[in-house]
Every structure is written in C-alpha cells, then in structure tokens.
Amino acid sequence: MPIAQQQTAEDTQTLNAKDFRAAMAAASARDHGSFETHLRDDVTFINPMVGTVDKAGFHKFHAGLWAGLPDINYRVERTISEGNTVVGECTITGTHGGELAGVTATNKPVTVPLTFIVDYENGKAKRWSTYLDTATLLRQIGAMK
Amino acid sequence: MGKYQDASRKFAETFNKHDLDGLAKLYATDAVAYDPMYPEPLRGRDAIRKDTATFFKGFPDIRFEIITTIEKDDRNGADEVRMTGTHTGPLETPTGEELAPTNKRLELKGSAFVRLNERGEIVEERRYYDVGTFLRQLGLMPEQAEEPAGAKR
C-alpha cells in the first residue's frame, strides 16, 4: 500500500472522534440527511426508548424525538476514542414543544445527560448504542413523579 | 493492557466476589459518583459503599460484566457494562423506603466514565443507565410508558 494511503490506528481514532462530533452537529441541526451520511446502511441503533432498530428505525426515532424537542441540541462534553469505538458523553437540551412519549407539549425545558457508544467500520457507524435515563426525561416533562 | 483497563478488570473481579470492603477501597475517600438513581451525587467512599451494599442486599446474585473498555490514558476511560441478577432481597430506595423482593430478573446495560487518581483509585464515576428499564424489569413501571410518539416498532 502506498505510504500516502496508510492509515495508522491513531489516525483512525482521531477520524472517528471527528466524525462523531460532526454527526452530533448534524443531529443538533435536526438534519436527517446529513446525520445519516455518518451511518452504514446496516447500522444497528440501540436505545432504551425504542429497543434495537435498523437505519430506518433510527430515522423514525429521530423524527419523533426532534418533533417533541424542536430546538434539541446535543452538546458533546467529552469523547474517548480507541480502536474503532468512540464513546461520547453528551448533554441533550431542548424545549418540550411537541408530543413526546405520548405527552403533549408542555414547553418545559429538558436537560438529559447521556452517553453514546459508537462502533465504526470503514469510517461509518455500524453500532450506535445510547445510554440515558428515560425516567429523568419523563420527570422533566411531567410524565412521571 | 493499560492501567485503566487493569483497574476496570479489578473492579469487575472484586464486584463479582461481592467484596464490599475491597470494592470500597477501589474508591478514593473523597470520590464522587453520579448515578441517575439519586437526585444528588454520592459523595465519599462511605456513601458509595452504602449504595453498593444496598444493591448486593437486594440482588444477592448480582453479576457485573464489562462489555467494552475504552481507555483514554492511564487515569481516564469509559466502560460499557452489563449487570444481571435477581431481586430476591429487600431493596432500599433512594427515598429510604424498602422495596420487598419481586423475584424478578434484572438485566441492565449501562456505561460509566471514570477518572482515577495517581494511586489508581476512582475519584469520579459518572454512571449512565436507564432507571426506567430497571423499574420496568422489576414490574414497578408499565411497559412502553416512555416510548416516544412515532418510534413504535
């Protein structure tokens, strides 16, 4: 392989972390098309709010979430990248301006800390796992005490 | 294997022995743990030990498995983990109430960002998992209560 085409493990880690931040920026812009350029077609999305779904399910989940929080923002607090995995510690903020979790808009502010663990393959996400506390979210929109 | 990975492995081994004293010693005396189960962080080794003791009492067969460890450097990393166990003992809730055994099986995945000090002790642990899933598995919260509109399978 020509030297110019060689990519070290460190390069891969850096590129994956950069890609993760770009994906989060696209999600903050609620831009499905841009966000999904960061996903492989066979991506698996795992989230306690929907279980395990494919790329179409991921899109549908985002459509519902972004309708419920129309000004959603994903703030990346920190990332750790090793091998083909990126762990991102993030905070989601937004206003409950649309139906979410079956709850009509309350216009309450929402702040939810969460982590994403993303496995990459050839520069795109193959597994996207989300760890968050849905009870925190439900309490903030008044759906749970 | 780096020092952070060593520390993660030791944590899992000690946890799975249900060695409370050994586990407590893996934390600095002034360690802070952020846990979604509690409205305020657990501050200090003793508070973290008490939380773990509560969990061991409620789930006497609890097991801790590391799925993935991502090491930033010797003192910083993150782990993706799985906890499995059966709720066969009384479980004290953060509000001080005691929850009678439900005999329900728990299988809960989560993640944690961890920072170690120069002695390899945990000084900060930020835990991420779904309390909603925890409650649902114990039959304490209805199924699909939190599923968002437009995301049904």
- Residue B32 domain-assigned? yes
- Exposed/middle/buried for B21, CB within 10 Å: 0-12, 13-18, 19+? exposed
Q: What's the domain range around B58? A: 3-88+101-137
* CA gap A35, A28 in Å, rounded: 9
* B71, B145, B150 member nearest A63 (Cβ): B150
The closest alpha carbon to B58, from B92, B14, B104, B107, belongs to B92
For the stretch B83-98, pLDDT in tens is 999 999 999 988 889 9
> In chain A, what are the domain boundaries?
3-140
Instruction: Please give the model's pTM, rounded to 2 decimal places.
Output: 0.90
B131 interfaces chain A, CB cutoff of 8 Å = yes
Q: What is the ipTM of this complex?
A: 0.89
For the stretch A40-87, pLDDT in tens is 999 999 999 999 999 999 999 999 999 999 999 999 999 999 999 999
Cα nearest neighbour of B79 on chain A: A87
Per CATH, the architecture of A3-140 is what? Roll (3.10)
Chain A: closest CA distance from residue B148 (Å)? 4
Q: Report the CATH number that the domain containing residue B39 is assigned in CATH.
A: 3.10.450.50
For the stretch A128-137, pLDDT in tens is 999 999 999 9
* CA gap B132, A14 in Å, rounded: 34
* CA gap A52, A96 in Å, rounded: 24
